[in-house]
Structures are given as C-alpha cells and as structure tokens.
A = this chain, B = another copy of it.
C-alpha cells in the first residue's frame, strides 16, 4: 500500500469520497482493509508481519453497518478537527469527545471506548497512517540514555546528560515532533526491564560501550517501537534486544523485530527486522555459570507457550529452535535480575561485554 504523505489530506479525501456518493444518491460505502488473521501473513522477504490486500466494505444502508459507518465518519471528522486545531489528544478523550445522545432518540453515538478504538484502527489501516500522525497520543513508558541529541518540539535533549532518569520517550515520536540532531552511538541496546536499564545507566554502560540504552518497561509502547525503527532506519544503528529468558521476553523481542499481529498494518513503521537477540537464553546458565537456584521452573503455561512459539515462522531459525528446545529440556526460565546472583555489576561488567564482544546473538 502506498504511504500517504499527508494524513489530513487523506481524511479529507475519505470524507469527499463519501460526500460524492451521497450526492450521486448512491448507498455510501467505505473500503477497509480486513484486519483479521485471515488477511495477515509473514513477509519473508522483508521479515515483518504484514496485512494482506483483502478488503471489506462498510455501507451506510445496511443495518449491520449503519452504526459503525456513523462512528467511522465521527472518528474521522474528530481527527480532522483536532489536526486543524493543531492539538493532540488521547484515544480516551476522543471517545468522550464523540459520546453524545443522538437528538430525539435514547441512542448514544458510542457507548464504550471499546467501540471507538477499533474504528480508529480501521482508519489507521485504511489511510495507511499512524494514529500519532492523526494527533492521537498513546500510552508511553520508555526511557533512553546515550550519545544522541533529540529535538523534541523545539527543545534540545542531550541524552548523555539526563541524570538518573534518562529521556522519557514521548507518545508521538514522528518526524513532525521528534528530530535526531546528532548521534555518535554505535548501536542501540533495548532492555525489557527498567530496573536493569537503571543499573546500566548508573554504570554509564552507554558511555563505556558507546551505545544508546533504551527500555520499554515490558512490552514497549508504540512510540518506543517506532523510535527503535527510526534509530535503525535513519541513524543506521544495529539494534540488540535484552529480555528475560522466557516466552514473554522472546515474544517482546519478536514484536520489536517483526511487528505484531494486532498492528500488522504498521509493521513497516513499528518493526525492526534486523534486530538481534542478545539474551538472556537458557544456554547462558551454563555459559556464565549461573547458579541453578535462581532459575524458575517452567509451569504448564510456559511449556504450552514455548511449544506454540516453536511453530511460528519467525522462530524457525536453527538457533531459536535450539534455544526453545533447550528451555523445554532444562525445564526452566530465568529473569535478567537473576544475573545479580553473580554480583550487582555482573551484567554491566561481564555478561553484556562478553555477548557483544563475541557477537553471540540469536537471529
């Protein structure tokens, strides 16, 4: 799908198209990409999860569609309005801004946010844009430190001088808001856990190893994933990911790398296919002589999830199959903090330098 340069223009075209149909006394119809598993595939060439080309039609004069048709028009109109006002808002505010009782009826335009959220995703997918470009902010929780200066809406953030807290990754990191003004880092280290990020920041790991350190605090929010994508694409930085050695950690990695099924229509902007997995792995237990009593026994859910993951295309590479087999064979998982059993600074001084030095990564 072609990338539209100007989402405001796309919204206008969407509205004009419906208006044209109305003027021609046609049953107004919207064309929307199908955002279901049946229309999602793994794009081997680009290494990302993609949305296929199947579309569905939402027509006004169809009782099964009328409500959603109205809501689609309302969400689109509200997005246009906030863009025209040059303000930003949240998807919860959007829901409240739309909610009203239709005059002369007992009917509300929207009842719950769970109605307006998927409509917004329809519009993102139909216009091939991100909600951030429609001036809607998402949750945010990431932090970054290292040798890069970022222009955030006119303010200049030297991320090598951000104390103990680092630069807070905002919701919207699109080019309009966030510009890279100078970056001398050699790579980006993405860390699942904030506590580990804080450890590495305190040790000034980013200075010693000339890198950026970035945490998403669990599964990174959209803004953080988009930032990783931009740092890789624009600054040509290799991306290494550090998570717990468990199914959830490996899933976080896979979402950073090839995008997610839910947001498959955004994988080219949120995924970073060349990302590498630095650890932890269950193999590390032997390789780094980690005491067995800090490993955690796999429960039934872990085993089921690990077995499922072995069947995913993106975990088919030999090294990943070996790791997943090893996890099931050993019967345990382990957390990043388990490395503290070897000393608080073990992760900064030993584990990461060894892994990076040997390029001991999973694909």
Is the CB–CB distance between B93 and A195 below 8 Å? yes
Residue of B nearest to A169 (CB): B165
Residue of B nearest to A347 (CB): B93
Is the CB–CB distance between B202 and A87 below 8 Å? yes
Number of this chain's copies in the assembly equals 2
Is the CB–CB distance between A82 and B341 below 8 Å? no
Is the CB–CB distance between B165 and A199 below 8 Å? no
Which residues in chain A, 151-166, are within 8 Å of chain B measured between CB atoms? 152-157, 161-166
Distance, CA A340 to CA B199, complexed state (A): 40
Which residues in chain A, 87-110, are within 8 Å of chain B measured between CB atoms? 87-90, 92-97, 99-101, 108
Q: How many residues of A contact B (CB 8 A)?
A: 59
Which residues in chain A, 118-164, are within 8 Å of chain B measured between CB atoms? 137, 139-141, 143, 150, 152-157, 161-164
Is the CB–CB distance between B341 and A100 below 8 Å? yes
Within the complex, the shortest CB–CB distance from A149 to chain B, in Å, comes to 12
| Chain A residues packing against B (C-beta within 8 Å) | 82, 85, 87-90, 92-97, 99-101, 108, 137, 139-141, 143, 150, 152-157, 161-172, 177, 194-195, 198-199, 202-203, 291, 293-294, 335, 337-341, 343-345
Is the CB–CB distance between A88 and B202 below 8 Å? yes
Distance, CA A139 to CA B172, complexed state (A): 23
Knowing A92-B335, A96-B294, the reply to whether A143 touches B168 (Cβ < 8 A) is: yes
| Residues of chain B lying within 8 A (CB to CB) of residue A152 | 162-165
Within the complex, the shortest CB–CB distance from A214 to chain B, in Å, comes to 13
